[in-house]
């Protein structure tokens, strides 16, 4: 069960982007894809829009080796599937994915089913709540963001909760904090470098 929980945490976890050298990211640049790198422990993530979806290619350092993980998001706030060393995990949502008007609606939720390597595992509910408007400063750049609380509750598993700061202009989550059941911060990821597209 703990392996399943760790895999789910990877599935719903969203990393945060930090522009390097004072270069401010623009919406047009994100269309080319954005490469984010953290030095210690090493983490490299490449995000690229694919129509309404967002694709992710990630290298994570674990047990002194680099492990590739790929993912597809139906919306930057909502992961659909992730493929990694523990196989393929998919989340299927019963409701229409309508998250671009969260500031007006305040809440979105959907019955959710987890599939592991194509087989149905457990079911539950996804809750996404708009908590307000804010500004996220990264390096010397500031972006308008939505403060979002994202919660995945699956049968007989502890809830997986994230506090996210999402830029609707860039269509990227700029900061994300993993929360415990009592909403206490558990972990946070920050990147050291950012560049547009692939390259050195």
Residues 6+ apart with CB under 8 A from 133: 103, 144, 145, 146, 147
pTM of the shown model: 0.82
Residues 60-83 pLDDT 10s: 777 778 888 999 999 999 999 999
The CATH number of the domain where 29 resides is what?
A: 2.40.360
Residue 159 lies in domain: 2-196
* Domain total in the chain: 1
Q: How far apart are the first and last CA of the chain?
A: 40
Residues 82-95 pLDDT 10s: 998 889 999 999 99
């Amino acid at each position: 069960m703990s392996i399943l929980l760790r895999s789910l945490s990877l599935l719903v976890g969203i990393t945060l982007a930090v522009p390097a050298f004072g270069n401010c990211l623009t919406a047009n640049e994100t269309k080319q894809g954005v490469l984010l790198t953290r030095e210690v422990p090493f983490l490299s993530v490449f995000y690229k829009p694919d129509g309404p979806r967002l694709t992710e290619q990630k290298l994570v350092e674990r047990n002194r080796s680099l492990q590739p993980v790929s993912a597809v998001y139906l919306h930057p706030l909502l992961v659909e599937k992730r493929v990694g060393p523990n196989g393929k995990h998919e989340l299927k949502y019963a409701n229409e994915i309508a998250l671009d008007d969260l500031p007006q609606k305040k809440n979105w939720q959907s019955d959710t089913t987890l599939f592991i390597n194509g087989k149905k595992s457990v079911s539950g509910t996804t809750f996404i709540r708009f908590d307000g408007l804010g500004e996220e400063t990264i390096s010397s750049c500031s972006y308008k963001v939505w403060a979002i609380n994202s919660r995945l509750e699956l049968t007989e598993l502890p809830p997986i909760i994230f506090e996210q700061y999402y830029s609707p202009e860039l269509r990227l989550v700029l900061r994300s904090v993993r929360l415990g059941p009592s909403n206490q911060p558990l972990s946070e990821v920050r990147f050291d470098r950012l560049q547009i597209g692939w390259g050195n």
